[in-house]
Structure 1
Amino acid sequence: MSSERAAAVEPGSHPRLRESSSSSSPPMQLRIADHPVRDRVQRLVTLALSLLNEAQNLARDKAFTEASAQLRSFNIAEGIDFYKEVERFEIELIRLALDRTHGCQAKAARLLGIKPTTLNSKIKLMGIEY
């Protein structure tokens, strides 16, 4: 007969698990005595967290693609206000960059290929809220 080791399941306060959990139940931490099992469970937790992160990135990429398609969908036959369209496009790009960088202007500026001071002045000038 094989000897089985008990695994204690306790409520935990692991921050990565709490952030990623979409359910209302508290996240759980496992305390497992058997090292190979603990290592396997830890790898599964790491994999699950990376899959959740990838799903969030895909959702953001989908939103970016949809917003880009919307920006390109205007009828030039009816005539357009060029400067208004350029400003609208610029505002949307800035919002998307700020959203992608969680509001960090320095990272958003790097993503857009402009200086942080330029981005900051555009945000103030155009009244962009994020």
Structure 2
Amino acid sequence: MTDFTPLQSLLGGALIGLSAVLLMALHGRIAGMTGILTGVIPPLSADWQWRAVFLAGAIAAPLLLVLAGKQIPFSVPVPTAALVVGGFLVGIGVHFGGGCPSGHGICGIARLSPRSFVAVATFMATAFVTVFIIRHVMGG
């Protein structure tokens, strides 16, 4: 069961949106996490510095909450092998979809990109079918 946290969710969504807007306004770049990560893996891209800072912020934010005394409930209800397989499948989708879910979902839809609307609909439909099969067909 997932806790209902509307205020935290609203704040988190607003901060993600703000970071995407600032990245586009200040650097002309789309905030797709896979593309940002790719630029800091050797060979480094020419603009690797802002990418490293963006990723550091994504890592530091929850660490700052922990240091401030907040307990972050975090559990992964699936085996590590399932996470690895899922990550591999997402990577294949990123390659063939021309971008990751965050890039298409946050930035692409905001720019009214038809390709992003199709990509997000495909991600969501696949997620719905996967959850249905795992929970109701396989009994997981």
The TM-score range, normalised by the shorter chain, is under 0.3
TM-score normalised according to structure 2 size: 0.25
Higher strand fraction (1 or 2): 1
Higher helix fraction (1 or 2): 2
Q: Select the structure of larger CA radius of gyration.
A: 1
